[in-house]
Amino acid sequence: MSNIEKVVALAAQQHGIFAAFQLKEIGITQSSFYRVVNNALFTRLDRGVYALSGSQKSWYRDAIVHVFRSGPHALLSHESALINRGLLLKEFVSKRNGLIVPFHVTIPRESGRRLSTSIHRSIYEKEILTRTVVNNIPQVSVECAIIESARHIPPQIFSSVVDSAIRQEYTSARKLRLTLDALWPAPGRSKSRVEEIIHGYLADPRTYKRIESTLEARIYRVLSEITREQIIPQYLLACGTKQYRIDFAIPSFKIAIEVDGFIYHSDRIAFDADKTRQNDIVAEGWIILRFTHMQSDDEIRAQFNRLLQRWAS
């Protein structure tokens, strides 16, 4: 295989992009470097970063360019790493100090490279900044990406990101706890958003395994912070000759909690069946609460607290 063929093969695996620092790894010497990169097949995009001519532009292509232009040890990070992992939508707008940041990159703590709104120095005191490759792009671990993004994602979206990452087994509450412990101490550094979410998983792992969706996991976590009464997921409730499965139930208060996801009432038959179901449950003396993904944790807390106060009175 010729040098040109080696570089074409490398770029083809990396969304049409390669970096100058990679060529030595595939056996291309310094004396051959300029002869290779000056070939008409390649276009220089930035210092040390090249594209295979005709390669299609995409979010992934732009992401890997931002990583390679930041040096051989740079990694996609923060919200960008969560998007690459599929935990955030590509349409998510990341901001710092009011400025839109298309891509975030983290460099090692010992690096002397100048920082910016998009280039960050590692915040970890141990060898936690491990390199992982997702969609052929080098990035930080899921744990690092979650922690680094905690302050910059709306609460309900951030909760869903963490729940989804745990449910899809990209990480675990224990791994997140260990990564939090490896943070360098610094004034104003908050761990509370992550700790609040993983606390439930660490304290009640059996219940979380019975929960069927990311949204349900978030709502269970919020409700369990408010009451010490038993909250039972996937509760079977007998209503006369019928039996209904409720997303969550607090039998001691006769409260049924239903979680309405993105797709709800696919047709008129389903809509009517849901109303019959709800009427049957109410006829048995139960109160029904319904929550959706659009509601923030604070909204869920407030609505549930109002119900508890009414029940107590």
Q: Same domain for 263 and 140?
A: no
Q: Is 90 exceeded by the pLDDT of residue 86?
A: yes
Residue 43 vs residues 18, 24, 48, 52, 128: alpha-carbon distances, Å: 10, 19, 11, 6, 35
What are 103's two structure tokens? 């891509």
Asked if the structure places residue 241 within a domain, the reply is: yes
Q: Is 50 exceeded by the pLDDT of residue 295?
A: yes
Contact 257, 217 (CB under 8 A): no
For 92-104, what is each residue's pLDDT tens digit? 999 998 899 999 9
Q: Same domain for 131 and 193?
A: yes
Asked if the structure places residue 130 within a domain, the reply is: yes
Question: Could you give the dihedral angle defined by the CA atoms of residues 11, 17, 21 and 23, in that order, rounded to the nearest 10 degrees?
Answer: 20
Please tell me the predicted confidence (pLDDT) of residue 268: 62
Q: Same domain for 192 and 79?
A: yes
Question: Who wins on pLDDT, 263 or 158?
Answer: 158
Separation CA 161–CA 86 (nearest Å): 9
> How far from chain centre, in Å, is Cα 201?
16
Asked if the structure places residue 29 within a domain, the reply is: yes
Question: Who wins on pLDDT, 125 or 253?
Answer: 253
For 219-238, what is each residue's pLDDT tens digit? 888 888 888 889 999 999 99
Q: Same domain for 68 and 164?
A: yes
Asked if the structure places residue 217 within a domain, the reply is: no
Asked if the structure places residue 207 within a domain, the reply is: no
Indicate the number of domains in the chain: 3
- Domain termination site, one of 201, 235, 253: 201
Cβ neighbours of residue 20 under 8 Å, at least 6 residues apart?
33, 37, 48, 49, 50
Please tell me the predicted confidence (pLDDT) of residue 189: 61
Q: Same domain for 294 and 159?
A: no
Question: Who wins on pLDDT, 156 or 182?
Answer: 182
| Residue 68: burial class (beta carbons within 10 Å; 0-12, 13-18, 19+) | buried
Cβ neighbours of residue 70 under 8 Å, at least 6 residues apart?
105, 107, 113, 119
Q: Same domain for 66 and 177?
A: yes
Q: Same domain for 45 and 61?
A: no
- Domain termination site, one of 56, 78, 93: 56
Q: Same domain for 89 and 197?
A: yes
Separation CA 261–CA 258 (nearest Å): 10
Please tell me the predicted confidence (pLDDT) of residue 82: 98
pLDDT-above-70 percentage for the chain = 93
For the full predicted model, state whether its pTM sits above 0.95. no
Number of other CB atoms surrounding residue 90 within 10 Å = 12
Q: What is the mean pLDDT of residues 50-76?
A: 94
Asked if the structure places residue 219 within a domain, the reply is: no
Best-predicted range by mean pLDDT (136-140, 160-164, 177-181, 238-242): 136-140
Q: Same domain for 197 and 145?
A: yes
pLDDT-above-90 percentage for the chain = 50
Compute the mean pLDDT over every residue in the chain, rounded to the nearest whole number.
Answer: 88
- Domain termination site, one of 56, 75, 99: 56
In this structure, are strands 255-260 and 17-19 parallel, antiparallel, or unpaired? Answer: unpaired
pLDDT interval class at 265 (50, 70, 90): very low
Asked if the structure places residue 216 within a domain, the reply is: no
Domain that holds residue 46: 1-56
Separation CA 49–CA 67 (nearest Å): 10
For 183-198, what is each residue's pLDDT tens digit? 887 655 668 889 888 8
Q: Same domain for 85 and 164?
A: yes
Residue 32 vs residues 25, 28, 45: alpha-carbon distances, Å: 13, 6, 20
Q: Is 90 exceeded by the pLDDT of residue 310?
A: no
> Which CATH number is 281's domain given?
3.40.960.10
Q: Same domain for 155 and 282?
A: no
Q: Is 60 exceeded by the pLDDT of residue 153?
A: yes
Asked if the structure places residue 125 within a domain, the reply is: yes
Q: What is the mean pLDDT of residues 211-226?
A: 86
Q: What is the mean pLDDT of residues 159-188?
A: 87
Please tell me the predicted confidence (pLDDT) of residue 115: 83
What are 199's two structure tokens? 């606390």
Q: What is the mean pLDDT of residues 261-273?
A: 60
Q: Is 80 exceeded by the pLDDT of residue 270?
A: no
Question: Who wins on pLDDT, 249 or 38?
Answer: 249
Q: Same domain for 138 and 231?
A: no
Please tell me the predicted confidence (pLDDT) of residue 67: 97
What are 75's two structure tokens? 């990694």
Please tell me the predicted confidence (pLDDT) of residue 32: 87
Cβ neighbours of residue 171 under 8 Å, at least 6 residues apart?
141, 142, 143, 146, 165
